[in-house]
Amino acid sequence: MAVLRLALAQHDFPVGAVAANAAKMGDLMAQARAGGAELVVFPELALSGYPPEDLLLRPSFLAACEEALQALAAATDGLAALVGFPHSEGEVFNAAALLREGRVVQIAHKQALPNYGVFDDKRYFRAGHASAVTTLGGVRIGLLICEDVWQPEPAAAAARAGAELIVVINASPWDDEKQAGREAVLVERAKETGCALVYLNLVGGQDEVVYDGGSLLVNGDGSIAARAPAFVDALLWAEFDPATRSLRADGWPARPEQPPEAVLYAALVRGIRDYIDKNGFAGVLLGLSGGIDSALTLALAVDALGAGRVTAVMMPTRHTSQLSLDGARAQAVQLGVDYHVIDIEPTYRSFLDALAPAFAGKAADTAEENLQSRTRGVMLMALSNKHGKLLLATGNKSEMAVGYCTLYGDMCGAYAPLKDVYKTVVYRLARWRNGAGIRDWGFGIREKPPAGGGALYPIPNPESPIPHEVIERPPSAELRDNQTDQDSLPPYEVLDAILERFIEGEQSQAEIVAAGFPADVVHRAVRLVLVNEFKRRQSAPGPRVTTRAFGRERRYPITSGWR
């Protein structure tokens, strides 16, 4: 029996861009046809983009998806295509349509609807009740959608119906533990069923989630045949041999072994670039303080967008150290970004003078400290309005967790790249980036920005883009003389370990104390997490990169008596 040749479109299909997505699919179908593919496969809900959320409640949106699907079907011309789309027939299903011979010949409905973490499928979709199996080129192919493969029964049902190969289309967001879990599940399904599996995943940033691609080929014996690189847009060629139930990758981009910091960095870069470009902003600006968080954010922004689209602003007051001034300027010059220094001391003083009568009789405290941060927020928002550049907030997950941040001050911004990155990880990323240079990290770096996006930008002066002094200095908000973060917080190594247990691990305070952490430190840290929910509700979105991100994934009440 002849091998079956497939083309897998590991590409970005933006939410709501139905016409553009259909046009892109048409181009990829033409490439697949020219390359001799019998079947081209697109990701979950590729036609509508994923997740379309309440767009699915609009009849006009569903009608546009249906119209585009019919047009794609008419263009199949000797090629079969598997297209993810929202299927409306009184109720709405998360579906995959098999197109061939100018029409829609079969539709598979997603059976397992995830309703945890970032997923909200049961709000929008009805569940399918059967695994679809089709025959193409003499091969029996099971058609599954994302969560279906995480449950044993849909794949088992496809195998009972005679499937030799199972194709799974996905929109599976990346986090720091996801890839190992995917591989384990796919290997288990292959061993259970004896079927080979093609796992195609979406790539690209969408608001608070980032899709990595990372598509996989798994042989019928459970061995991994190929791994696609993460965060790279590519049309991947594969061949299935039904005699051995094995798959072969044909010319896939290299996927070198990379440390965790490299993959996380790529996720953050992709999140920034797609959020800015998909929302039509000319570029970004940020406050560059001379501290580690803003320094890493600047490096990420330049790698995502290129130095020409990034503006950095230093806004010193009486409490700003020479180390901060020198570090910020050195990094801005090194990276070649547009750089401004705006002395906010006069503005800050004018605020203090205006407030003096109302502050009379009260000692200076965090009100005066936060006023500096809010003065900076006013300046940055004015620059954002004037120049049409989106403001990046630079705070990290540790600060966001315990409320060590100022509403309408350093929390100002429309996107927060480090929102889901703990402070200890910020340091690891900074040190990794300083050692990375512009060598190919396995994420498609090129000498020039590619026409269609999809690759990181090399920076002009790659050596140590984050000054060593900035990394090694004690962290400080510099809102009073000789201030350090550890005046108010435990050492970040201790704090982050507690936070990870409480947030990602959902451990109780008693469990964390039993693990060896001081009871008073644990109780204080947990209290800060719980009482600062109101701040997080007002924070900018940022890319989800852990298993429990603030935002749509972790939703706690603001008003709560539970401690």
Residue 450 pLDDT greater than 50, yes or no:
no
- Chain centre to alpha carbon of residue 67: 30
Q: Set out the domains of the chain in order of their start, with CATH numbers.
A: 4-255 (3.60.110.10), 261-489+532-537 (3.40.50.620)
Query: Distance (Å, rounded) from C-alpha 140 to C-alpha 194?
Result: 13
Q: Where are the beta strands (DSSP E) in 90-147?
A: 91-100, 103-109, 132-136, 139-145
Known catalytic membership, residue 147? no
Taking 3-state DSSP, the helix, strand and coil percentages for the chain, each rounded to the nearest 5, stand at 40, 20, 40
pLDDT tens column, 7-59: 999 999 999 999 999 999 999 999 999 999 999 999 999 999 999 999 999 99
Query: Distance (Å, rounded) from C-alpha 325 to C-alpha 331?
Result: 10
The SS3 call for residue 390 is strand
Closest CA to 163 of 242, 51, 90, 54: 242
Using 50, 70 and 90 to split pLDDT, how confident is the model at 442? low
**What is the crossing angle of helices 260-278 and 292-305, to 10°?**
70
pLDDT tens column, 131-179: 999 999 999 999 999 999 999 999 999 999 999 999 999 999 999 888 8
Cis amide bond preceding 346, omega within 30: no
Residues 448-458: what's their mean pLDDT?
Answer: 41
What is residue 462's predicted lDDT score, i.e. its pLDDT? 53
* pLDDT mean across residues, the chain: 92
CA angle 420, 293, 326 (to 5 degrees): 175
Per the residue annotation, which of 146, 195, 405, 412 is the catalytic one?
A: 146
CA angle 319, 323, 328 (to 5 degrees): 100
Is pTM beyond 0.85? Reply is yes
Query: Distance (Å, rounded) from C-alpha 410 to C-alpha 424?
Result: 19
Query: Distance (Å, rounded) from C-alpha 368 to C-alpha 348?
Result: 9
Query: Distance (Å, rounded) from C-alpha 298 to C-alpha 291?
Result: 11
Known catalytic membership, residue 500? no
Per the residue annotation, which of 24, 38, 44, 65 is the catalytic one?
A: 44
Is residue 531 within 8 A of residue 560, CB to CB? The reply is: no
Known catalytic membership, residue 195? no
Closest CA to 269 of 436, 27, 75, 492: 436
Distance in angstroms between the alpha carbons of the first and the last residue of the chain: 65
Residue 466 pLDDT greater than 80, yes or no:
yes
Per the residue annotation, which of 24, 110, 278, 419 is the catalytic one?
A: 110
The SS3 call for residue 479 is coil
Count Cβ atoms within 10 A of the Cβ of residue 448 and give its class: 0-12 exposed, 13-18 middle, 19 or more buried.
exposed
Query: Distance (Å, rounded) from C-alpha 269 to C-alpha 456?
Result: 7
- How many Cα neighbours within 13 Å face the side chain of 323? 14
Residues 481-495: what's their mean pLDDT?
Answer: 79
Closest CA to 393 of 412, 372, 370: 412
Closest CA to 369 of 351, 384, 381, 382: 351
Using 50, 70 and 90 to split pLDDT, how confident is the model at 458? very low
Residue 452 pLDDT greater than 50, yes or no:
no
Sheet with 196-201, strands from edge to edge, namely 132-136, 139-145, 165-170, 196-201, 216-218, 224-227
Is residue 141 within 8 A of residue 134, CB to CB? The reply is: yes
Q: Can you name the residues that pair with 204 across neighbouring β-strands?
A: 211
Closest CA to 58 of 30, 86, 39, 33: 86
Lowest mean pLDDT among 167-176, 379-388, 475-484: 475-484
The SS3 call for residue 55 is helix
